[in-house]
Amino acid sequence: MSTSDGRIIGTTQILNNGSDINRFNMALLAEGYQAGQMAQFATDANNFVRRLSQTPPFHLAMNAINVFRVDVTSTDSGADDPVACGGTGRTARTYFDATFCGDGVNQRLCNVNAATAFAVANAQVPRHRLIVVIVNSAIFGGAGGSVAVYSLQGNAVETAIHEIGHTAFALADEYETLRGCASGETDHNNDPAVKEPSQVNITITGTNNRSTLKWGRYVLPSTPLPTTKNANCAVCDPQASPVATGVVGAFEGANTYHCKAFRSEFDCKMRTLGTVFCRVCQDAILRKLFPYSPLTFRFAWKGVGGDQGLYNGRGNDSDQRNISGSGSSTGPALATFVQTFMAWKGIFNDQGIYYSRQRHIDGVTWDTQQRVPGVGTSTGPALAVFQGKLYMAWKGIAGDQGIWFSSLDITFSWAPQRPVPGVGTSTRPALAAFQNRLYMVWKGIEGDQSIWFSSYDGANWAPQAPVPNVGTSASPSLAVLGNRLYMVWKGIEGDQSVWFTSFDGFTWAPQSPVPNVGTSTGVSLCAGPDRLFMVWSGIAGDPSLYYTAFDGSFWGPQHNYLDTGSSSVPAVLVTF
Amino acid sequence: MGNTPQYPSSPTQNEPRAIRLTFSYVGSQIELTDTQRLAMFVPPSDSLEAARDQSGFWVEVRDADEQLLFRQVMHHPIETTREVFPADPHGEIIRTPVADPRGVFSIVIPDLTKARILALVGSPSEADRRSEAAREMARFDLTRITGGDYDK
C-alpha cells in the first residue's frame, strides 16, 4: 500500500480565475479511485468546489481561488477499514495509503500519507496553498493537519472545510472540550490562559469590554460582555445562547477548554461542522483571500438620515471614506468609464446632477465634482457604458416624471439631454448594455408599481413594455451575467423583500425571491466575471449596508459591510 | 470546466518571487526536507508588532540583524492531537492524542533580498502547553537555501 499501488494520470484546472501566480491555488488529490473511476473523481471534485463556493464567506471571494484536480489512480477503491474500530477489516491498495481508524480507536479518523500528498502536490501544483485529499469511500471520515482529508459519505466534506479554516486561515478550534463533554475530562476545565492566542477567533483577555476585546468592533453596545460565563468549569457550559444567532460577543468555552477561553459567537464552523463560520472567522478568511482576487468591488453611498455626505469604500477592505466636497440626498451611481466614475443628485433641494472621477493611483482620491450642464433630477441618475460612451438616464426634476438621457464621450463632453419618448417614472431608472443594446428598466409613474423596460440601439428607443407579474415601490437595478440580463428590485409598498428575474432578450423569467434579505430603499447590482454582486441597505430601522454574490444559481448569505449605513440605495461597482 | 495549466519557466521582472519550504517533524524536531523557488504571490505580512508575548505558531523572516521582515501566523503544524469529526454535522468534535507525532507541512515566504533567517516560532508542542508563549523552535539560514531556479 503505497505509491506503487497507483499512478498519477495528470492535473486539470477545474476553477480558473487567472494566473496561478497570483491566486490562492487548491490541489484536490484523488485517493482510492481506480482508473475507471476518474470520471467519478471529476464529479466529486466539482462537487467540492460547488460546496465551497456556497459556504460563506467563500461565495464573496471565489474569484481569488484556482482549483486543480490531480487525477491519481489506485489499484483498489476505498480505504483501509480496520476491525479495531469496528470496520470490516478490508485493506485497500491505494496511492496515499488512506485508512480509517487512524488512531486505532475512531473509525471516523481517516488518515493519508501526508508526505506523499505533499510530494504529489508540490510536483503537480507547485503554487498550491492548500491540499485536499478526497477519499473514495462511503464510510464517514476525515482528518486535518497540513492536509485536509474527507470521504464521500454525507457531510464529510464539512470536515475538510473546517480543516481549511485551520490550515489556510490559521483559525483556532472554538469547541470547549477535548474528549467530549460527556467524557468526564478533568484536565480541560480551565484554559491555562498563559498568553493571548495569536489566532484571531479565540481570546483569553479583555472579555469585559468592547474596547479591549480582540473583536470588539463587531460587538454591539447592547450586547453584554462577557456574553456567557460557564458557571461550572468542571463541565461544558450547558446554557443556550442568550442572544440571537449571529450576535457577536464573548462566549466562554473555546480552544478545547470549558472556561477561561472565549469565542466570538455562540456557534461557528470552527465549533460545529453543521453551521456557518462566525463573522470573525469569515472576515479572517476574506482578509486572507481578497489579496489573491483580481476583483475589486467598490461601494458608494450617502450617509444615514440627515447625513447627505457621500462615502465610498472597497468591499475588500470593509472601510469607508467620506468624499469631501460632495453630497447627495439620494445616493450615487457608479460605472467604469476610463476610470471609476460616479454621478449623483445634489443635496436637499439642489436637483442638479454632479459627477466625479477617481483616477488617482491611490484609488481613494476623487476629482473635484463637476456639474452636468442643463439637467436636473429629483431622484438620482443611472449609468452604463454602451458603444464606447457613458450613458446616463434620470427621472426629471420634481413634478417631471419623464425619463431623460444623455451620454458622455471619451473627450468628456456631455451630449444634450433628450427625453426617452412616452415613458415615465417616480423613482430612478436602471441601465445595462446587453446584446448590443442599451436596456433600461424603471418603476412606473406615481401610483404605478409595475416595472417597465425598453432598449436603445444607439439611435432609437424601442416602445416600452411591462416586465410581467412584478412590482416595486423603489428603483430596480440591472446587470449582465453570461447571456442573460438580470434585474433585482425591492418589492411593492409594504414588501421589503428583494426579488430577481432574468431576461434572455425575448422573455423574462418568473420572479424569484433573493432568500433571507430585505431592504426599505432598494438594491444595486453589478457583474463580476462569473457572478453578480448586490448591495443594499437594510429594512426599515436598519440602515446598515449588506452585500452578497450570485453565481447564476445560488445567492449567498448576506454579509454586513461593517460600520457603515445609508438611508438610500448604495451603489456597487466591480472591476477586474 | 478547466484546462491544463501552463507554468512559466521563470518569473518576469514584475512577478512575485517566493520560496516554498517543506518540513517534516518527529516530536518537536523539525527538519527542512525540500525547497522550491516559485513565481508566486505571497499575501502581506501579518502584524510585526504582535509577534511578542503570544501563544500559537508563526513563521518569521528576518534580516542579518534579526530585524523582522515578514510574519505569517499559522495553525500549529505539530499534531499532538488529531480531530475526530462526528457524522452528525451538529455533533461534537473531539480530539484524540497522537502517540508518535510525526508529519509534514510547508510554508511559502516571500523571496526578499534582505532575508537571511527563517525562524519557526511556536508554543511548546505538548497539547497542555499550547497556551504558553511562543518561542523559537527552529531556525534556518536562508542564504543556504538552494531550491534551484524559479519553477524548476
Question: In B49-86, which positions are buried (b, 16+ CB within 10 angstroms) versus exposed (e)?
Answer: eebeebbbbbbbbbeeeeeebbbbbbbbbbbbbbbbbb
Contacts of A11 in chain B (CB under 8 A): 4-5
Q: Measure in Å the smallest separation between the Cα of A264 and chain B Cα atoms.
A: 18
Residue B11 has pLDDT above 60, yes or no: no
In this prediction, does ipTM exceed 0.85? yes
How far apart CA A70 and CA A48 sit, in angstroms, is 14
In the block, residue with C-alpha cell 489573491: A292
C-beta separation of A274 from A154 below 8 A: no
HSE-CB for A534 with a 13 A CA cutoff: 34
User: Range with the lowest mean pLDDT among A39-53, A359-373, A499-513?
Assistant: A359-373
Taking alpha carbons only, the member of B10, B17, B15, B19 closest to residue B108 is B19
Question: In A538-551, which positions are buried (b, 16+ CB within 10 angstroms) versus exposed (e)?
Answer: bbeeebbbbbbbbb
Cα-based distances in Å from A177 to A89, A181, A223, A241: 31, 6, 25, 17
C-beta separation of A301 from A321 below 8 A: no
Alpha-carbon radius of gyration of chain A: 27
Contact B82 A145 (CB under 8 A): yes
Confidence of residue A360 (pLDDT cuts 50, 70, 90): confident
C-beta separation of A102 from B13 below 8 A: no
At residue A357, the pLDDT reads 94
At residue A319, the pLDDT reads 78
Q: Which of residues 20-49 of B touch A (CB under 8 A)?
A: 20, 22, 24, 34, 36, 38-41, 43-44
C-beta separation of A271 from A255 below 8 A: no
Query: Mean pLDDT throughout A410-436?
Result: 97
How far apart CA B54 and CA B48 sit, in angstroms, is 12
- Is the pTM here over 0.90, yes or no? yes
Residue A249 has pLDDT above 80, yes or no: yes
Q: Where are the beta strands (DSSP E) in A32-76?
A: 65-74
Residue A26 has pLDDT above 70, yes or no: yes
Residue B52 has pLDDT above 80, yes or no: no
Alpha-carbon radius of gyration of chain B: 18
Q: Measure in Å the smallest separation between the Cα of B27 and chain A Cα atoms.
A: 15
Alpha helices of A106-172 — where are they, by DSSP H?
Answer: 114-124, 157-167
Taking alpha carbons only, the member of B122, B121, B103, B106 closest to residue B42 is B106
How far apart CA A429 and CA A439 sit, in angstroms, is 10
Q: Which residue has the higher pLDDT, A105 or B9?
A: A105
Residue B51 has pLDDT above 60, yes or no: yes
Structure confidence by residue, pLDDT tens digits, A27-50: 999 999 999 999 999 999 999 999
- DSSP helix/strand/coil, A26: strand
C-beta separation of A546 from A560 below 8 A: yes
Dig out the grid coordinates for A94 from the structure. 491505494
Query: Mean pLDDT throughout A169-187?
Result: 97
Q: Measure in Å the smallest separation between the Cα of A530 and chain B Cα atoms.
A: 13
At residue B148, the pLDDT reads 57
In the block, residue with C-alpha cell 473511476: A37
Percentage of chain A beyond pLDDT 70 is 99
Confidence of residue A314 (pLDDT cuts 50, 70, 90): confident
Confidence of residue A426 (pLDDT cuts 50, 70, 90): very high
Q: A263 at the B interface (CB within 8 A)?
A: no
Residue of A nearest to B100 (CA): A103
Q: Measure in Å the smallest separation between the Cα of A536 and chain B Cα atoms.
A: 30
Quick check: bond before A570 cis, omega within 30? Answer: no
Contact A180 B36 (CB under 8 A): no
Q: What is the mean pLDDT of chain A?
A: 96
At residue B147, the pLDDT reads 57
